[in-house]
Structure 1
Amino acid sequence: MVGSTDTLKGAANSGIAAGRFQRLMTSPWLLILVVALSFFWQLGAVPLYDLDEGAFTEATREMLASGDFITPHKDGEPRYDKPVLIYWLQAASAELFGFDEFALRLPSAIAATLWIAGLWFFVRRCLDARTATVAGLAMALSLQVSLIAKAAVADAVLNLFIALAFFEIYRYFLDPDPKTNRGFVLRAYLWMGLGFLTKGPVAVFFPLVVSFLFFLSEMGGANGGLRRWFRAVFSPLGWLVFLAVAGPWYLAIYLDDGAGFFRSFFLQHNLGRFDSAMQGHSGFPGYYLVMLPIILLPFSGWFLSLLKDLRRSWSDPLDRFLWIWFLTVLLFFSFSGTQLPHYLLYGCTPLFILMARYRERLTNGWLAFVPPLFLFAILVALPWLLETVVQVALRFDLGLKAHQVAMIGAGRFALDLHYGAAVLAGLVAMLGLMVWSRPALWSRLVLAGIIQTLVVFGVLVPKVFEVMQAPVKEAGLVAKALDMPTVVYRTSMPSFSVYREAVTPNRRPQAGDLVFLRIDKLDRLERDLPDLDRTLVYQRGPVALVMVRAPE
């Protein structure tokens, strides 16, 4: 009898503990702590990376230096790759907090935080607060979202506005009364206008296409029909809001630069990216099916658990809206000439909502934990893999360039005992979470996401950036101290100009110049300048500084 009583008490205590744990895992306070960890921790701890962060931040630096807040420039030349909003945000942050990595990345971290907040309020309205918190946790801890939240580029800002536009579209669908749903329409146009000011047509294209397909799927439903879609799409007041937000800058840059921006941005950097691969970023039709599990780490198996009930989900309007959103982005970019992992993020917000809504369907421990276990196994083996790459490349003459050999070699030594201990501890923790059977699988995966964030941003990223970008930063600081005429030679690493705090033209070197270049270009420099003396001023890892002088 006593044994039975103790057993019942033990079961009751276990149930109480399990309930407390579940309440903790669905607490908004946990979400706030995770956002701080994933988006703000280590925000300014590593140098800017090339090509992207260097290009954006150099344009911001030149904007502040010149006082020209209309036409972005990079190394003295107009930069027509992106519209202006991200430069304005970075410039404002740099003015408030100083021109450094933290300030330049801060707008992205804030935008990602607002993105989470927008998702939380939307899911709480459509479902419940606990599901909203779980969706926010999954999004904040997924690998690609946390990467762009810590990057001084436009992607976190754009994803914020795209997601907000989609949330307003669904709110408009839920409210068929024209007297009360006008605000949803106007706010959707506001977010699309801000997105258009961030990265152009993509911020309008997907909301229009997805909303059309969704309202088409709702033909005959109480809240649906294309008539409502046309009413919103051809809203004069909505387009007036859009033009009031985006129009002034587009008009200003046209008055400053003529049609040059429009030809370059719309034809080359938008239509051109879909038609052909730019900057070597080509792929294949299945590229994003391969990349999606990496983008969602450690939640790849959680996403796969949704697929078995896809047909049943199609009958629910919210599920159908979310799936149409994701599938439209996936199909469109699968057939784009230029393919980059972060493009798919435009369609990943709905996946986090679906994963949270159906979190209890995740019941297969192997499906849940094989992806993060595989990641950590690769991280543990990475020093050996780097050594193997060098040996195989040299043995079979695979054509590794000098700067690549230098980085791989430096990387092998950077991945030291501290790194090995950290990633091995992460692997053991993942195994422990896998065999810990009491909490729900989804909540263990959230803990796995926290471990992934600690290891990736606390250990891996600093090691990688120490090898790849710290030499570029050092070279820039050396060039700044020397205060000589400086040029870039056959190298595209714009963060050098950021750290040098000066425009660095890309032209043929001449006597009296300091030359920044990748080390695989040293032989070419010698062939191009046979009549000039060259003195190696700085060399570390993949880059070098060479002083060019007339022979004495």
Structure 2
Amino acid sequence: MSLVRSLFDRLVATPWVLVLAVGLAFFWQLGSVPLYDLDEGAFTEATREMLASGNWITPQMNGEPRYDKPILIYWLQAASATALGFNEFALRLPSALAAALWVLVVWRFVRERLDPTAATVAALAMVLSLQVSLIAKAAVADALLNLFIALTFFEIYRYWLAPRTAPLWRAYLWMALGFLTKGPVAIFFPVLVSLMFFWSTGHLERWWRALFAPVGWLIFVAVAGPWYLAIFLDNGPGFFASFFLDHNVGRFGDAMHGHGGFPGYYFVILPLILLPFTGWFIRILPTLRHAWSDPLERFLWLWFGTVFVVFSFSGTKLPHYLLYGAVPLFILMARHRELLVSRWLAYAPPIFFLVLLLWLPEIVALAAGQAERAHEIALLGEGARVLDLGYRLAVIAGLLATLGLALAAPVRPWQGLVLAGLIQTLVVYGALVPRVFEVMQGPVKEAGLLARELDRPTVVYRTSMPSFSVYRDAVTLKRPPEAGDLVFLRVDRLPSLIEGHPALTVTTLYQRGAVALVELKAGAADG
């Protein structure tokens, strides 16, 4: 047993295991599933229209300005698609690369502040956690933003340790790039957390000097300013009113796009996004009592706690928002890894998750029996079809392997959880995600490719699935349908379309799952 433990001690200390984990969690299956709506569809359609129009200043979606996010992620996706072709892999590659750099930045900081083994362990826990791997594989802005947020916070801590100008100027650079990625959030949390940290350690005067450093703001304006000036010249004040007021202030005050949640939302979500390391996180919570006496731990807990509290009071709640403050948890887990001695606490969360995945076909079947709306019935019916024997066997294999780790593996619990993370990654991205995306987005892709082949005037009817336009390779308008149009819509909207156009014949060209592509012709259908 001691020989096996010694082997694992050496294994988790080598960065090559981390390279393997990054390849598996971030790059494996990267281009194998369709883009999901709304987020990936919206980002990539804006990128497609940028390439088609040559307008590299104002993102547009379906011919209208898209003021949701700043420009940097669109530029990176456009560059990747230009080099590799306009496909799912190329569009997601900037996120995967940003996530890999994010991991490298965390590894380097922990190695610098703690030790090489802690650095590799923190990075492994981060890579193999469920939510981090999800955003690493998504063609959205969040992996890139998290990279810049982590870089900013680490430079702030280095500046606190030694008030030199180099880390301070770099912090302004990373905030500027984050501001070009997702806006004020890249400034808000670093400024707020650093204020509390410097004040609590008796260095408030140094914080004020850093906040009003002229060279720092010159760097920030030089990096972020040109695009913000250019979009103002291109669009006037419309972008600033929509982006800053609606999509930033508005998100805090109200639930946007139906993404609301109850006050304890993140207490429920946090254990899920940390899977399979939920028990490990629970075990480090008692260390909070003594964290104030250690500057690094004080900084890390302030970072996490501020993000948790702020978003708990936000009107709009999404799971990935917590990742802005999750890096400290991975570092703390690595630092206190030897405190995790209870195998039950360590392995219960991943085992429960895999049991839930094993019962997913029954859950879907039960939900299908309760569904009433046409698109929900269609989705759940497709779900029941794809969650087949192959899916069950993959989940059972993962469950048995994890149970074996819990019951018999002669390794420390935290080491076993790293292996459980690899198992979870294989099951989620090898068995679950391809089937989920086949049900939810496969029909959208097929409908878009058919519409592209038919090359007819096409509109979308009371449906928001922008990836259809990506696969159609054209803007899809939302004007009222008319004779001669192809119409893309959700299947539950079909009766409304027919009733609203009694003088037209509606012919279904494609229907699978929750969506359909129909043709409108002059003249009412017989009968």
AA aligned opposite 1:529: H
CA distance in 2, matches of 1:483, 1:16: 66
CA distance in 2, matches of 1:471, 1:246: 39
Q: Does 1:108 align with 2:109?
A: no
Q: Does 1:94 align with 2:72?
A: no
Deviations 1:167-218 (A, max 9, x none): 0000111114xxxx10000000000000000000000000000000011110
SS at 1:306's partner residue?
helix
Of the three residues 240, 264, 267, the one matched with 1:286 is 264
Question: Does structure 1 conserve the Cα–Cα contact (< 8 Å) formed by 2:409 and 2:416?
Answer: no
Deviations 1:418-450 (A, max 9, x none): 100000111111111111252111000000000
Question: Does structure 1 conserve the Cα–Cα contact (< 8 Å) formed by 2:5 and 2:412?
Answer: no
- For residue 533 of structure 1, report the CA deviation from its aligned partner: 1.0
Of the three residues 149, 152, 177, the one matched with 1:194 is 177
- Map 1:446-457; keep pairs closer than 5 Å: 446-457=418-429
Q: Does 1:402 align with 2:374?
A: yes
AA aligned opposite 1:309: T
Correspondence for 1:539: 511
Of the three residues 134, 141, 144, the one matched with 1:147 is 134
CA distance in 2, matches of 1:108, 1:18: 35
Correspondence for 1:8: none
CA distance in 1, matches of 2:285, 2:408: 25
Correspondence for 1:417: 389
Unpaired segments ≥5 residues, structure 2: none
Of the three residues 335, 340, 356, the one matched with 1:362 is 340
Q: Does 1:466 align with 2:465?
A: no
SS at 1:251's partner residue?
helix
- Show structure 1 runs of 4+ deviating over 3 A: none
Of the three residues 119, 136, 142, the one matched with 1:132 is 119
AA aligned opposite 1:433: L
Q: Does 1:252 align with 2:230?
A: yes
AA aligned opposite 2:6: G
- Map 1:327-342; keep pairs closer than 5 Å: 327-342=305-320
- For residue 367 of structure 1, report the CA deviation from its aligned partner: 1.1
- Map 1:41-440; keep pairs closer than 5 Å: 41-176=28-163, 181-219=164-202, 225-391=203-369, 393=370, 400-440=372-412
- For residue 313 of structure 1, report the CA deviation from its aligned partner: 2.0
SS at 1:547's partner residue?
strand
Of the three residues 24, 33, 57, the one matched with 2:11 is 24
- For residue 22 of structure 1, report the CA deviation from its aligned partner: 1.0
SS at 2:438's partner residue?
helix
Correspondence for 1:9: none
CA distance in 2, matches of 1:240, 1:371: 48
SS at 1:506's partner residue?
coil
- For residue 35 of structure 1, report the CA deviation from its aligned partner: 0.5
SS at 1:535's partner residue?
strand
Of the three residues 517, 523, 526, the one matched with 1:551 is 523
Deviations 1:335-369 (A, max 9, x none): 00000000010000110000000000011111111
TM-score scaled to structure 2, two decimals? 0.99
SS at 1:279's partner residue?
helix
- For residue 77 of structure 1, report the CA deviation from its aligned partner: 0.5
- For residue 18 of structure 1, report the CA deviation from its aligned partner: 2.2
CA distance in 2, matches of 1:276, 1:523: 32
CA distance in 1, matches of 2:258, 2:333: 34
SS at 1:504's partner residue?
coil
Correspondence for 1:498: 470
- For residue 20 of structure 1, report the CA deviation from its aligned partner: 1.9
Mark the structure with the bigger radius of gyration. 1
Unpaired segments ≥5 residues, structure 1: 1-13, 220-224, 395-399
SS at 1:121's partner residue?
helix
SS at 2:464's partner residue?
coil
CA distance in 2, matches of 1:247, 1:300: 41
- For residue 287 of structure 1, report the CA deviation from its aligned partner: 0.4
Question: Does structure 1 conserve the Cα–Cα contact (< 8 Å) formed by 2:179 and 2:186?
Answer: yes
AA aligned opposite 1:283: G
* C-alpha RMSD over aligned residues: 0.8
CA distance in 2, matches of 1:17, 1:341: 37
SS at 1:544's partner residue?
strand
CA distance in 2, matches of 1:314, 1:413: 53
CA distance in 2, matches of 1:533, 1:138: 57
Question: Does structure 1 conserve the Cα–Cα contact (< 8 Å) formed by 2:508 and 2:519?
Answer: yes
SS at 1:152's partner residue?
coil
CA distance in 1, matches of 2:286, 2:341: 12
TM-score scaled to structure 1, two decimals? 0.94
CA distance in 2, matches of 1:70, 1:318: 41
